[in-house]
Structure 1
Amino acid sequence: MTSFAAVDAPETSAQESETPADTGIQSFLITFIIRRFDPEVDEEPRWVDYDVELYATDRVLDALHKIKWEVDGSLTFRRSCAHGICGSDAMRINGRNRLACKTLIKDLDISKPIYVEAIKGLPLEKDLVVDMEPFFASFREVQPFLIANSTPEKGKERVQTIADREIFDDTTKCILCAACTSSCPVFWTDGQYFGPAAIVNAHRFIFDSRDDAGDVRLDILNDKEGVWRCRTTFNCTEACPRGIEVTKAIAEVKQAVLRGKA
């Protein structure tokens, strides 16, 4: 049997063991000013600043994680996939609606503090978390699901041409993050307005050749709080993290209402 002699590891001081390896990548000390609100303590929201060391390739979500895990565990925000698909971490960053997981530090002006707050127009629950129920209530009201009167042949699917699919392809990309709706000034001031996201999801089915309920949705959106409340400010298009041409989709629904059909 082969024997192996034990070799003593070289002595390392406590200071050396705690010093991280130098990666050669520059880090930056960045100030985040976050609008905090705890309903059990605060009467009004308050701004709190945090200094966080980050790399240029880090995201705002990484900064929020670092604050919560290393500085203040009471900081509250939503996040799930962290890859721009779930849409749960929509918030206002430097006054613009963005997804924290898609906003890179290198794309912000780090010579100034970075301001982070909850999206507008929805009831604030705590810190960066809002009550999404009014948003989803509008979404449900436009019947965002396929309604077909015909039955496909046994074992077959409802077929659709590539050209027919392209008509509504853009609006299938919505991830229901509410960034577009909560960027709309009309939505901020009018609690009855459906909002851009609901209209986008109605568009997705109104123009689907396999759907038979387009007229029903057009009637719903022809209401005084429907598409006609849109003031075409393009805030929604600018805010969409998926690049959907939201204002264009709303205009197409308006045209369909005027024609009386999709």
Structure 2
Amino acid sequence: MSSTLTKPGPGPEAAAGTSAAAHKITATFRIRRYDPEVSDKAVWQDFTIEIDPKERVLDALHQIKWDVDGTLTFRRSCAHGICGSDAMRINGRNRLACKTLIKDLSPEKPITVEPIKGMTVLKDLIVDMEPFFQAYRDVMPFLITTGNEPTRERRQSAADRERFDDTTKCILCAACTSSCPVFWNDGQYFGPAAIVNAHRFIFDSRDEGGEQRLEILNDKDGVWRCRTTFNCTDACPRGIEVTKAIQEVKKALITRRF
């Protein structure tokens, strides 16, 4: 009686690996590079990698940094669209790298990645955020009250909370501010993000600092610089109606009702 030995086939892990590889595509990422220690000029550099199109741009940047060029520099933290640290211009639009899927970017063509505009580039995709955060601090983004400290929580109706709910969603990524043509031309402008965060407290029924914030935004570099281009609303990764919030602050300045 004869017997035939059969070579065992690939296990489920190998099959899964083969399936994953089959779904990969070849994508080129054209990244704007800048290193002040090497040159005072920025240059474009192409990186071609194999990657699953369902991955995010952040995953591609990780792959390039970890496997191709360790000098590539960018910010990222939570990787889930909450910290806002990986805002950058991808194919000419401000986006969060961790929320942008490669398959949505026409990957058959080079995908361009560059730092957000209107801010000083420190290295590669990293910009100096200090002027942005200073504008945020200048609008006093905290609850202002007078009198004795209450012995219980400051209660608020659902309707009062709804009044400023949209502007509580800001994650300070600077996507809106760095998409604003006014901010590009004059970095002294407070910018949409600062106004959004002022709005969040101006219309809070528990707050008593609305008049102070309105006077700050009534400055020549304040809310009146807005030209209502809607770039900020289009750029917001959280879907905040930024232009609407700015218009509501303008109206409050005129009527002093908020």
TM-score of the superposed pair, with normalisation by structure 1? 0.91
Note the residue ranges of structure 2 that are not aligned, 5 or more in a row.
Answer: 1-6, 8-13
Match of 2:101 in 1: 104
Shift of 1:209: 0.2
Match of 1:184 in 2: 180
1:213 aligns with 2:209: yes
Find the residue that maps to 1:73 and give its secondary structure.
Answer: coil
Find the residue that maps to 1:254 and give its secondary structure.
Answer: helix
Shift of 1:46: 0.2
Shift of 1:121: 0.5
Match of 1:118 in 2: 115
Match of 2:10 in 1: none
After TM superposition, list the pairs within 5 Å mapping 1:94-173 onto structure 2: 94-151=91-148, 153-154=150-151, 156-173=152-169
**1:81-136 C-alpha deviation (Å, 9 max, x unpaired):** 00000000000000000000000012111111000000000110000000000000
Shift of 1:20: 8.7
Shift of 1:19: 11
Q: Which amino acid aligns with 2:233?
A: T
Shift of 1:261: 3.5
Shift of 1:192: 1.1
142-151 or 211-220, larger mean C-alpha shift: 142-151
Provide the rounded CA distance (Å) in 2 between the counterparts of 1:239 and 1:124: 20
- The number of aligned residues is 246
Provide the rounded CA distance (Å) in 2 between the counterparts of 1:21 and 1:172: 43
1:74 aligns with 2:71: yes
Match of 1:13 in 2: none
Contact 1:184 1:235 in 2 (8 A): yes
Match of 2:3 in 1: none
Match of 1:62 among 45, 59, 69: 59
Find the residue that maps to 1:91 and give its secondary structure.
Answer: strand
1:199 aligns with 2:204: no
1:258 aligns with 2:240: no
**Displaced runs of 4 or more, over 6 A:** none
TM-score of the superposed pair, with normalisation by structure 2? 0.92
Contact 1:215 1:261 in 2 (8 A): no
Contact 1:152 1:158 in 2 (8 A): no
Match of 1:34 among 26, 31, 38: 31
What value does the CA root-mean-square deviation take over the aligned residues? 1.7
Note the residue ranges of structure 1 that are not aligned, 5 or more in a row.
Answer: 1-9, 11-17
